Amino acid sequence: MTDQKITDLFIIGGGINGCGIARDAAGRGLSVSLAEMNDLASATSSASTKLFHGGLRYLEYFEFRLVREALIEREVLLKAMPHISWPMRFVLPFHKEMRFDSETPTSRLLTRIMPWMKGRRPAWLIRLGLFLYDTLGKRGILPGTRKLDLSRDEAGAPLKDKFQTAFEYSDCWIEDARLVVLNARDAQARGAEIMTRTKVLAAERAEDHWLIHLKDSLTGQVFTRRSRMLVNAAGPWVAEVLNQKLGQNSREGVRLVRGSHIVVPKLFDHGRCYFFQGTDGRIIFAIPYEEDFTLIGTTDADHPDPETAPTCTPEEQDYLIHFASQYFKKPLHRDDILWTYSGVRPLYDDGASSATAATREYVLSLDTGNAPLLNIFGGKITTYRKLAEAALAKISEALPGVGGNWTAGVPLPGGNFAVKDVTKLQADLAADYSFLTPYWARRLIRAYGTEARLILGEAKSAEALGHTFGATITERELDWAIANEWVRSGDDFLWRRTKLGLRLTEEERAAVDTYIKDKVAA
């Protein structure tokens, strides 16, 4: 079946790049269709370290433009999504005797100038990096860097006694998969067609437009769409789509880098994050996670094939446990791990010698044939909105008359309130719905913002929300997610729209999955 209507833009890929471009384009008046072969954010965009950050370590690779753009974006995004993103302070312990096997451009330069410094990041270098971090981007909400005495500050309590000094700086937390879904929802509200579980089988140019052949994996239906322009935002599959689905011969490609994380029981009571430096020159974070847990990650390892599902290998688990145990007084063990997850970062292949050194810059490649094609290589979640603007600038070269930039400061669904008002929003919700526990009210606001009231409606009791599946999950919330957020399975809701799978038993998770699938089938 072929749809005779020709849209302006067809986007392949429902990760943050695809959904961000769809939202921006729809808001400029373009007609947009997007196809994602699985669930939204089912690959890289739900497997990040959950940070909106400038990328402090990228300064060692002299990627100043990328860091500056990301630093500026932090506060733009905080204002647009204060429910799913919030400021966080990062504690970087310093130990002058600790050595690092680092091969960054900065370390090589220092070794040539001061050979005795080989393997060390001296305090002055860290101070310089943090000074640049504070000044490269504008800060109106986020406080600047300060020095900590760990013998007096509570951040020192969980750490080994040898760590007496630390530097504390600002970055931000982000609910990564919810960010993708909210961009998709806003795109749809502006007229975009969002198709999940819809695989692109092939696409070819037909005179002045593209014919895109698709298959709905839920119904088995095969159909065709027409579009004036195609955007390949397939993430880890961008090269496969380009060469196999579109039949284009291109030497451009991605370097697939696996990042793995572990989740363990809560290791400290304060709300700050730790930034740890390893003796191998790498860094990891230890982050307060979902109130009762600690998230530790990430690794950097080359990944062989996008069709091979990424998993946190035993070696990566041991690496992260050993790394963190160099800092925490109480050593971690494999038995402490409650959950692991891994994602594949599709970095632009710049020929770097290692996965850690590969550029985090994004590259947009425009083919201006009789039907234009834009390929998206790389990118990071913090700069997704700027990438979308850059993509629309390329698109406007091929499709004249596209409107100007508009997304800066425009809230995503549920985010129409000030950053400082989130606590009041939670208190007001708990007051108006007296049956909510403090945790339940916090969770709803952090997931849905002002839209939490749309889910609760006129309910006067928890029973009015239908069956409770555990961890404050109710029928009403699942029905909302099915109707409004493309939820089609238990995993969609429990591990992407939320992380409530951590709080349920295997039987409870199965009950959620059964309810959702039965509801969708009906």
Q: Which two tokens stand for residue 173?
A: 């937390």
Q: pTM of the predicted model, to two decimals?
A: 0.92
Residue 228 in contact with residue 208, Cβ under 8 Å?
yes
Question: Looking at residue 401, what is its pLDDT?
Answer: 87
Q: What is the pLDDT of residue 361?
A: 76
End-to-end CA distance of the chain: 24
pLDDT value, residue 108:
52
The dihedral through the CA atoms of 42, 45, 47, 51 has a sign that is negative
Domains and CATH numbers, the chain: 2-45+177-253+359-398 (3.50.50.60), 86-172+255-348 (3.30.9.10), 419-521 (1.10.8.870)
In a structure prediction context, what are the per-residue pLDDT tens digits for the chain, which is 522 residues long?
A: 666 789 999 999 999 999 999 999 999 999 999 999 999 999 999 999 999 887 776 666 667 787 888 888 888 889 999 999 999 999 999 877 655 555 555 455 444 444 433 445 677 778 887 888 788 877 788 889 999 999 999 999 999 999 999 999 999 999 999 999 999 999 999 999 999 999 999 999 998 999 999 999 999 999 999 999 999 999 999 999 999 999 887 777 788 999 999 999 999 999 999 999 888 878 899 999 999 999 999 998 889 888 899 999 999 999 999 999 999 999 999 999 999 999 998 888 765 545 555 566 789 999 988 899 999 998 889 999 999 999 999 999 999 889 999 999 899 999 999 989 999 999 999 999 999 999 999 999 999 999 999 999 999 999 999 999 999 999 999 999 999 999 999 999 999 999 999 999 999 999 999 999 999 998
What pLDDT does 113 receive?
A: 43
Distance CA 102, CA 80 (A): 37
Residue 124's pLDDT is what?
A: 76
Separation CA 318–CA 332 (nearest Å): 10
Residue length of the chain = 522
Long-range contacts of 146-155 (CB under 8 A, 24+ apart): 148/91, 150/93, 154/269, 154/270, 155/91, 155/268, 155/270, 155/272, 155/274
DSSP structure class, residue 426: H
Q: How many CB atoms lie within 10 A of CB 168?
A: 20
pLDDT of residue 350: 64
- Report yes or no: 417 and 451 within 8 Å, Cβ to Cβ: no
Compute the radius of gyration of the chain from its Cα atoms. Answer: 23
- Of 322, 327, 300, 272, which is closest to residue 98 (Cα–Cα)? 327
Whole-number Å distance between alpha carbons of 275 and 197? 37
The tokens describing 319, both together, are 């690496």
What whole-number distance in Å separates Cα of residue 78 and Cα of residue 138?
A: 13
Q: Where are the alpha helices (DSSP H) in 190-331?
A: 238-240, 314-325
Residue with tokens 């790049």, as numbered in its chain:
17
Please report, for residues 24, 145, 293, 513, the alpha-carbon distance to residue 85 in angstroms, rounded to integers and kept in the order given: 20, 20, 18, 27
pLDDT of residue 281: 76
